[in-house]
Structure 1
């Protein structure tokens, strides 16, 4: 039986493990000491346009300015297009210093490099991903095939999606009715409206949407019919997850369990040793051999 185990009692990190029986098959760790910015949405301001790179540098509130390449700029921001016969649009035709843009962190900053940004916003829901300013993107996850894909194509054509937007149906959307998919879409549209409102009411640079933490993401992305339980060892984390499930997927609320046993959660399910093994340089093979990384 598959379970999601959430260890949130440590001050340094939150760990989310996916287990089948007592076998660990997926692990996600979020460092509480490090500020997570990936998928956050900001109102930002262009500080420098670099024609040689076909990119702009953008102040979105971080220590280092973010990097915004031309290919990640929505046509909504184009000030003017290159005259006919003069080739493709250039960064200087699109942005100038002081231009305010809504950006999402695509890759967090590393070392001396600032974060990689995009203006093509993606908002993940339970069954789909909404792209509010990218009508050309969208469709159905490539992992969905056969009859499931055909059924979802029919449902997708019936969704009340505003013009100029796109959606991708996630694997969790398989077997869901058009009504359930529309409910998820409406939730994401409300979220986008709140982002647009925050953009209108605030001066750049400012955070206008923060992506959910690892606990909510795990529940949102992985809690399906084949998951027997979600076991959480911290009362505050359990309550947040329960509130989210009650609002977004109430039929699964009885699958959440607050773990109160004095024995550590991961020890109870005998996966602590598997986690330690996963981080070792030497990987033991079923044949008796090993690989050294």
Structure 2
């Protein structure tokens, strides 16, 4: 068939999403096994042992140990918010960062990096003005910034506003979590269907 199609099914018993363009497979996403920590997962974690010579530390979560590369100023037993950045390599802890990002289809919300921006890939000046007007209607909490993603170029204005508002709300709730208490998972990383909706262009046809 001509055009693009996104299909959802299972591969090896795990949920999967496939993107087809003109009858050819362009991308395939498969959910990770249940025992793998997915990139983008957010935890309240506790600092464990430092890794001397690496400038990092092991941090403890309910799902296992993570490797925090930059742990300067942190002491063993401290609690903090972390987000996994990639899958773990064999025999190693899953990498994590304290720089949390909240990514959705139309927006990237950036705690700790204030300001509002529009993706450089959106080159149409008239559309950029329209998006700036949309941003003027949105209230950002202190200390947060955002970037409108490329999908905003062709997105419905109300859908963009709703997506931005929902993502800011999620970010605000996570960032206001108390650091007291036991390690806890606060936000699941995206599934294959989440990633397909978030990162793939709008298809001509969707087949569930």
TM-score clears 0.5: yes
Structure 2: 5+ residue stretches without partners: none
Q: What is the deviation of 1:164?
A: 0.7
Partner of 1:2: 4
5 Å-filtered alignment, 1:116-127, equals: 116-127=95-106
- Contact 2:109-2:146 at 8 Å conserved across structures: yes
Aligned-pair distance for 1:221? 3.0
TM (norm. structure 1) is 0.60
Residue 228 of structure 1: aligned partner: 204
How many aligned residue pairs are there? 205
Question: Shift of residue 210 of structure 1?
Answer: 0.4
In the TM superposition, what is the alpha-carbon distance from 1:58 to its structure 2 partner?
Answer: 1.3
Q: Which runs of 5+ in 1 are unaligned?
A: 71-90, 233-293
Q: CA RMSD in A?
A: 2.8
**Greater helix proportion:** 1
SS of the counterpart of 1:134?
A: coil
Q: Compared with structure 1, are the counterparts of its residues 99 and 36 closer, same or farther at alpha carbon in structure 2 (3 Å cutoff)?
A: closer
Matches within 5 A, 1:195-274: 195-196=174-175, 199-200=177-178, 203-222=181-200, 224=202, 227-232=203-208
Displacement of 1:53 in angstroms is 2.9
Shift in alpha-carbon separation, 1:168–1:223, aligned structure 2, 3 A: same
**TM norm structure 2:** 0.82
CA displacement at 1:102 relative to structure 2? 0.5
Give the alignment of 1:110-121 within 5 angstroms: 110-121=89-100
Mapped partners of 1:201, 1:63: distance in 2: 18
Shift of 1:154: 4.8
CA apart distance, 1:176: 4.0
User: Whose RCO is larger (CA < 8 A, sep 6+)?
Assistant: 2
Cα separation, 2, equivalents of 1:27 and 1:192? 28
Give the Å deviation of 1:174.
1.0
Distance in 2 separating the partners of 1:19 and 1:213? 19
Alpha-carbon distance in structure 1 between the residues aligned to 2:34 and 2:53: 37
Alpha-carbon offset, residue 11 of structure 1: 4.9
* Structure 1 residues 34 and 44, CA gap change in structure 2 (3 angstroms): closer
Match of 2:113 in 1: 134
1:251-270 CA distance string (max 9 Å, x none)? xxxxxxxxxxxxxxxxxxxx
Distance 1:12 1:119, change over 3 A: same
Task: Report whether the alignment pairs 1:185 with 2:161.
Answer: no
User: Alpha carbons of 1:117 and 1:154: their partners in 2 closer, same or farther (altered >3 Å)?
Assistant: same
Equivalent runs, 1:147-158 vs 2, <5 Å: 147=125, 148-149=127-128, 151-158=130-137
Judged with a 3 Å threshold, the aligned counterparts in structure 2 of structure 1 residues 7 and 202 are, in CA distance, closer, same or farther, namely farther
In 1, Cα distance between equivalents of 2:207 and 2:51:
50
Secondary structure at the aligned position of 1:107 is classed as coil
Rg larger in structure? 1
